[in-house]
Amino acid sequence: MKYMILTLLCCTALLTATAQEKKKTDTLRVNHRTAMDTVIMEDVETGERRKVRITIPGKDEGVITIEKSEKTYEYEKGDKDSGDVKVTVERTRKSHPIYGITFSRIDLGLVKLMDNGSFTLSGNNRDFKYRPGKTVNFGFDLLQAGYRFNDNFRLFLSAGFDWTYIRLREDIDFLENTTPLTWEQSTIDYSKNRLTSTYLRLPLTFELRSKHYSGLGRLRFAFGPEGGFLLKGTQRFKSDELGKQKFKDDYNFTQFRYGAFARFGVGSFGIYAKYYFNDLFENSPNQAGLQTMAFGLTLGF
């Protein structure tokens, strides 16, 4: 857990600096020594020329007004003695593909076990009593591919890793290479007994975004289905008698899980919730109906 927190803190500094989405700008140079109404403006970086309506004030005034695409922009004029005036015009990028490596949607939250829709464990699942504050979910995305349709909506598929850490209260040992899931009570008093599942997660995200608010960023709402393939299961023990122990097995975790998620945030920070429709374990009739949900904080939309 401490390694997750250190990773999260390191990423916070990086993502906070780059979280605000930068707008594409044109730097245009206009000769103001001629009386103007409609003029040709040239992009000094690309050489692109376009016709706009511009009003140049007198030497004692300091605001240039540009009418472009039925919108009016006002800018401070530069050096009054210069023959040229540099003007910056905001330009919204059109639709375009989204793809590549990322490090975003970093989730850290609490996990709740549900037994056939109830948060109270019953029957054979009573041995799965857990410590709520130490049963957590952690995950992040590393790859993404999709399409941005406009400035307010994008759709993309991403891939990353997701861990669920269940901190058990009971001193139970899960047996490796057994189906259905089998465990036995231990005579050792464990100070730590944690069952972990590691998944490759594949969320399909529909994201709605507001306009950019100065000093705040965008309001974002994202939702969609999420699938995941089991990579491994792990049980870790800690006791005075045996010290730290670690065992690896799939522990009958569901090989492919599927569910849904939702995120809401401002700028780079937000909250998330996810719920998996199928059972936590498979081929284990006594654990039928045992499911998980998670909710918490997310960083980097």
pLDDT confidence of residue 28: 47
pLDDT confidence of residue 214: 85
Contacts (Cβ under 8 Å, ≥6 apart) of 79: none
CB 222 within 8 A of CB 210: no
pTM for this model (two decimals): 0.73
Tens of pLDDT along the chain (301 residues) come to 444 444 444 444 444 434 434 444 444 444 444 444 455 555 544 555 555 555 555 544 445 555 544 444 444 444 444 444 555 544 455 799 999 999 999 999 999 999 999 999 998 899 999 999 999 999 999 999 999 999 999 999 999 999 999 999 999 999 999 999 999 999 999 999 999 999 999 999 999 999 989 888 899 999 999 999 999 999 999 999 999 999 999 999 999 999 999 999 999 999 999 999 999 999 999 999 999 999 999 999 8
Q: 95-299: what fold?
A: Porin (2.40.160)
pLDDT confidence of residue 210: 94
Q: What is the DSSP string of 10-74?
A: HHHHHHHHH-SPPPEEEEEEEE-SS--SEEEEEETTT--EEEEEEE---TT--EEEEEETTEEEE
pLDDT confidence of residue 301: 85
pLDDT confidence of residue 50: 59
- CATH 2.40.160 intervals, the chain: 95-299
Distance between CA atoms of 291 and 128, rounded to whole angstroms? 12
DSSP state letter for 286: G
Helix (H) or strand (E) holding 220: strand 219-239
pLDDT confidence of residue 40: 57
